[in-house]
Amino acid sequence: MTEAAPAVIRSAGNALLKDLRRLAQDSHAHRRQQRVWLEGDHLCRAALARGLRPALAVFSESFWPLAGAQLAQAAPKNIVIDDALWRGISGLESPAPLGFVLDLPEAAELAPGAPTVVLDRVQDAGNVGAILRSAAAFGFTQVAAVSGTALLWSPKVLRAGMGAHFGLRLVEGLKPADLAGLQVPLLVTSSHEGEWLHQANLPWPCAWVLGHEGQGVDAAIAQLAAHHLRIAQPGGEESLNVAAAAAICLHASATGRLAPPA
C-alpha cells in the first residue's frame, strides 16, 4: 500500500477544519457527525493495533514528513494542516501533531453474561476514561453506562481512556431497569456498609457498579445488587475517588480469579 497524497488546508474558513475543531473540543459533536477524533500517537496506534482503519489521517504540516509509513498509509485520505491552524483544532495546551478521524462504532446492545463495569451517572470525563482503562486491564469486557454518565466517546473520555475503548464493548444510555438484563451478579460499592472487599469471595463473571461522584449508586440499582462491598481505608478518609475505587475493586476481581484454590 502506498500513502495517499495529502490534501493541504491553509484556510481558517475550511469546513473540514471547523468540523475537526468541533470533534476535538465539543463533547457532543461525535454524535452529530457520527465520527470521533483520536489525537496523538498513542491513541492512533492503539486503534491500528485493534485492526481499526480511520476514515481520515490528519497531520500538522511540520510533522507530515516525519510521520512514517504506518501512519501515512493508515487511512484512505490524508489531510495536512498548516501549523498555525493546527493549534486551533485541539483542546489541549500542547497539541499532538497528528490525529485520526474514526467512524463512530455502531451502538452495542448489552451482552447479558459479559464481565461488566456499570457506570451510574459518573460525570467526570477523566474518571470515566480511567475506569475504562482499569476495566480493560483487569479482564472486564463490557462497560454499561447509565444515562447521566459522561459520554463514552467524547474527546476527554477518549484521551483519558488511552486506547481502552478499542478493546471494550461499550453500551450507553441505559436506564437502571435495563441492568436487570445482566445475567451476572451485580456488586455495588459503598463507603459505609457491606462486606469488606478484602475478605469477600468475589463471583466471576460479575458486574461492578460505580456510582455518581457525590451521590453514589442509585437506590434502584442498589436493590438489584447481589453483594454490597466496601473498601478498607485505614487512613480514615471519608471516601475514595470513584476511579481509584474502581481500580481497587476490579483488581480484586482479577486477582481473585488468579488465586490458587484453597
Question: pLDDT tens digit string along 140-184?
Answer: 999 999 999 999 999 999 999 999 999 999 999 999 999 999 999
pLDDT the model gives residue 3: 58
Q: In what order do the strands lie in the sheet with 169-174?
A: 169-174, 142-146, 116-120, 207-211, 186-189, 227-230, 195-196
Q: CATH number of 116-258: 2.60.40.10, 3.40.50.300, 3.40.1280.10, 3.50.50.100?
A: 3.40.1280.10
User: Running DSSP on this structure, what letter comes out for residue 105?
Assistant: P
pLDDT the model gives residue 51: 96
pLDDT the model gives residue 94: 87
pLDDT the model gives residue 213: 85
Question: pLDDT grade, residue 4 (50/70/90)?
Answer: low
- Between CA 65 and CA 86 the distance in angstroms is 16
- Between CA 245 and CA 250 the distance in angstroms is 9
pLDDT tens digits, 189-242 = 876 778 999 999 999 999 999 998 888 899 999 999 999 999 988 887 767 899
User: What class has domain 7-103?
Assistant: alpha beta
Candidate from 16-30, 130-144, 177-191 with smallest mean pLDDT: 177-191
Q: Where are the domains of the chain?
A: 7-103, 116-258
Cis bond before residue 155 (omega within 30° of 0):
no
Neighbouring C-beta atoms of residue 215, cutoff 10 Å: 10
Single-letter amino acid code for the residue at 19:
D
7-103 and 116-258, same CATH topology: no
Q: Cell numbers of 129, please?
A: 476514561
- What pTM does this model have? 0.92
Please report where in the chains the cell 501533531 appears, as a residue.
Answer: 97
pLDDT the model gives residue 216: 86
* 8 A C-beta contact, residue 243 and residue 132: no
pLDDT the model gives residue 260: 58
Arithmetic mean of pLDDT, 74-84: 96
Average pLDDT value for the chain: 93
